[in-house]
Amino acid sequence: MLELDQNPHILEIRQPFFIERELQKTEDEIRKIPGFSTFQLPLGEEELKSLATDGPIVAFNDTVDRCDALIITTAGLEALLLEDLDSRDAVRRITRISQISGRHPTKLGDNNDEMEDLLKWLWVSAVRPVLDHLGYLHPAPGSRKDYKLPRIWWITCGALGLAPLHAAGIYGKLGAESAMDFVVSSYISTAQALDFARTKSRAQIEQPKNAQKEALLVSASDEYLSFEAEIQDIRDIIQNHCNPITLQDASRADVLQQLKSSKIAHFACHGVSVWFQGDPGVSVPTSPSDSYLLLKGSKDDIDGKSNEKITVADLVGIKNPKARLAYLSACSTAKISPDKLFDETINIANAFQLAGYPHVVGTIWEAEDESATMIAKSFYEKLWNQDSGPQSFDVALALHRTVKELMNDPAWKDDFIAWAPFVHIGA
Q: How many residues does the chain have?
A: 427
Angstrom distance (rounded) from CA 68 to CA 408:
32
* DSSP track, 317-338: T---TT--EEEE-SSSTT---T
- Shortest CA distance to 214 belongs to which of 324, 317, 312? 324
Angstrom distance (rounded) from CA 424 to CA 55:
15
**At a CB cut-off of 8 Å and minimum separation 6, what does 39 contact?**
27, 30, 31
Residue 74 φ/ψ region, left for φ over 0, alpha for ψ in the -120 to 50 degree band, beta for the rest: alpha
**DSSP bridge partners of 267:** 218, 328
- Scanning 66-161, the segments in alpha helix (DSSP H) are 87-95, 97-100, 108-122, 128-133
**DSSP bridge partners of 325:** 264, 359
- Tens place of pLDDT for every residue, the chain, 427 residues? 445 556 565 555 566 666 777 777 777 777 777 666 666 667 788 999 999 999 999 999 988 889 999 999 999 999 999 999 999 999 999 989 988 888 888 888 899 999 999 999 999 999 999 999 999 998 766 667 788 899 999 998 888 888 999 999 999 877 789 999 999 999 999 999 999 899 888 876 655 555 568 999 999 887 666 788 889 999 999 998 899 999 999 999 999 999 999 999 999 988 877 765 554 444 555 666 778 888 886 555 555 555 688 988 898 888 888 899 999 986 655 554 444 434 444 478 888 888 889 999 999 888 888 889 999 999 999 998 755 443 446 999 999 999 999 999 999 999 999 999 999 999 9
pLDDT of residue 343: 41
pLDDT of residue 391: 47
Angstrom distance (rounded) from CA 231 to CA 268:
7
The Cα angle at residue 88 between residues 83 and 92, in degrees rounded to 5: 120
- Shortest CA distance to 225 belongs to which of 268, 271, 273, 272? 268
* Greatest CA separation for the chain: 78
Angstrom distance (rounded) from CA 193 to CA 367:
25
- Shortest CA distance to 222 belongs to which of 249, 244, 251, 246? 249
Question: The pTM is what?
Answer: 0.84
Whether residue 392 contacts residue 420, with contact meaning beta carbons closer than 8 Å, is answered with no
Count of CB atoms within 10 A of residue 148's CB?
Answer: 9
Q: Is 413 exposed, middle or buried (0-12, 13-18, 19+ CB in 10 A)?
A: middle
- Shortest CA distance to 255 belongs to which of 245, 241, 263? 245
Whether residue 147 contacts residue 388, with contact meaning beta carbons closer than 8 Å, is answered with yes
Could you give all domains of the chain from N- to C-terminal order, each with its CATH number?
A: 48-188 (no CATH), 193-426 (3.40.50.1460)
- Shortest CA distance to 72 belongs to which of 97, 88, 85, 55? 55
